[in-house]
Structure 1
Amino acid sequence: MVKRDRPTLTERRAEELRLEIARKAVEIFVADGDTSVTVDRIAEAAGVSPRTFHRHFPAKEDVVRPIFRLSSTQVITALRNAPTTGDVVETLVAAWVSQLHEGTLSDGERQFLKLMASTPQYRLRWMEVDDELSEAMAEFLRERVALGDHPLHRSLPAYLVVHATRHVFDYWILSDSSEDIADLLRDVFRTVLAGVEATRPVPTGDGG
């Protein structure tokens, strides 16, 4: 069977509809200042029936998945298109900042992410993209950073970078920090990669 590289027109339209419904839900979350809105109200705002909503989102909390998938796709695309030469840290910073408008968040975006970070069932949906990000990060690092030969040595640094990034964004969002997110990421990425370099196994030979 031939594997399709691109989604069909029907699949693209379905994804566009999911994203439109998700954006309407985000607008309501931000306007209300909480996530207690009913499915009926989200569906009405998006111009679809509750039945259509549930066809695309089995649970109400699933409605935020397209938002996080879009952001993670932007980061992954930036990582895969990045040059293999140059400063690794600066390339990582540029990839993560690529999902932000002019390197920052609007008040509405920050309020939305605060709700997501502080509400367990929504935070779980946000964290779902971490595995895909980690896979792309592992590929990125393998081409640019000297790693050990053991599979864990080749995969663990990617998970460290991704989870360090989440920690930075949590701090930046929940503390209402006015610090430059690029500077925060830059500092953390340098710390993580320095640790990876310091603990990288040194090959030993048999010779004296």
Structure 2
Amino acid sequence: MRDTADTARPGLRERKKQRTRDALLRAAVELFTTQGYDRTTVDEIAAAVDVSQRTFFRYFSGKEDAALALQKLSVAHFAEALAARPPHEPPMEAMRRAVLDNWDRMNEAIEDVIPIELYLRMYRVIESTPVLLAAHLRRSVDTEEEIARLLAEREGLDVDTDPRPRLIVAIFGGVIRVTERRWSAGPDHSLDAMRALMATYLDQVGPALAGNWPER
């Protein structure tokens, strides 16, 4: 009996830790989106969950880490979806399908932590907060390197001698950033609007890179 109980305890502890982390993340996003990132303190986030500041720092390195945690979650799901794409798909199409075909599943993972509407509001906070936008762009560089290496492995290439994985990922990442900014500045802040805009921009990559553009 003791062995069985001891075996079960780590699972229970991990679930409790995950619930605490999710609660802290939800509280942080709620505060960031209602009173602003700069005016929110770690103490306020911890107090909202009735834990100590020390507990907050067990899960996040700081406010910035909490503010960008949902984007990190999205990237992880995208990487998983990309790795599962059929090997015959061209790289850009594989990345396109990894986003669009898994859109609902990725957002369900986010909804397990916070309401999707709150997640979308957090997107706009990042875009409108210089320190967060700078951090988001810095992380994007690391993300693109991670995806380029994944793509190179998928295609059987050496990412350090063949520039194509990094080039195609840079183009894809640029489209995602343009989508985020145009969606954030537009009148429709729904999830469907973001997906539609992303699909439209991704569909225009090929024509934009090939041939001459018509004079306007």
**Structure 2 residue aligned with 1:192:** 205
Q: Provide the residue aligned with 1:114 in structure 2.
A: 124
Amino acid at match of 1:81: A
Given that residues 23 and 67 in structure 1 are in contact (C-alpha distance below 8 angstroms), is that contact kept between their aligned partners in structure 2? no
- Map 1:92-171 → 2, pairs under 5 A: 92-97=95-100, 98=103, 99-100=106-107, 106-127=116-137, 128-137=139-148, 139-140=150-151, 143=154, 151-171=162-182
Q: 1:67 to 1:182 in 2, by over 3 A?
A: closer
Q: Distance in 1 between matches of 2:69 and 2:116?
A: 19
CA distance in 1, matches of 2:209, 2:62: 40
CA distances 1:84-112 after superposition (whole Å, capped 9, x unpaired): 235765543342242335xxx94433221
Q: Aligned in 2, Cα 1:70/1:165: closer, same or farther, shift over 3 Å?
A: same
Question: For 2:198, what is the secondary structure of its paired residue?
Answer: helix
Give the gaps of 5 or more residues in structure 2: 1-9, 109-114, 212-216
Q: Note the C-alpha offset of 1:73.
A: 0.6
CA distance in 1, matches of 2:20, 2:135: 19
Corresponding pairs, count: 187
Q: Is 1:77 matched up with 2:88?
A: no
Q: 2:44 aligns with which of 41, 44, 50?
A: 41
Which whole-Å CA distance do the structure 2 matches of 1:121 and 1:21 have between them? 21
The CA distance in 2 between the partners of 1:134 and 1:15, in whole Å, is 28
Distance (Å, rounded) in 1 between the aligned partners of 2:209 and 2:177: 18
| Aligned residues: CA RMSD | 3.8
User: Identity of paired residues, percent?
Assistant: 23
| TM-score, structure 1 as length reference | 0.68
Secondary structure of the residue aligned to 1:100 is: helix
| Alignment partners' CA distance in 1, 2:183 and 2:71 | 17
* Aligned-partner residue type, residue 187 of structure 2: D
Matches within 5 A, 1:9-88: 17-30=20-33, 32-35=34-37, 36-86=39-89
The separation in 1 between residues aligned to 2:187 and 2:19, in whole angstroms, is 32
Contact 2:148 2:169 in 1 (8 A): yes
Cα deviation code 1:25-82 (max 9, x no counterpart)? 112223x242212222210112310122234434322222322211111111111111
> Structure 1 counterpart of 2:65, which letter?
D
Q: Secondary structure at the match of 2:107?
A: coil
Give, in whole Å, the separation in 2 of the partners of 1:143 and 1:197: 25
Among 169, 175, 183, the residue aligned to 2:186: 175
3-state secondary structure, aligned to 2:68: helix
Q: Is the 8 A contact 2:144 2:173 kept in 1?
A: yes
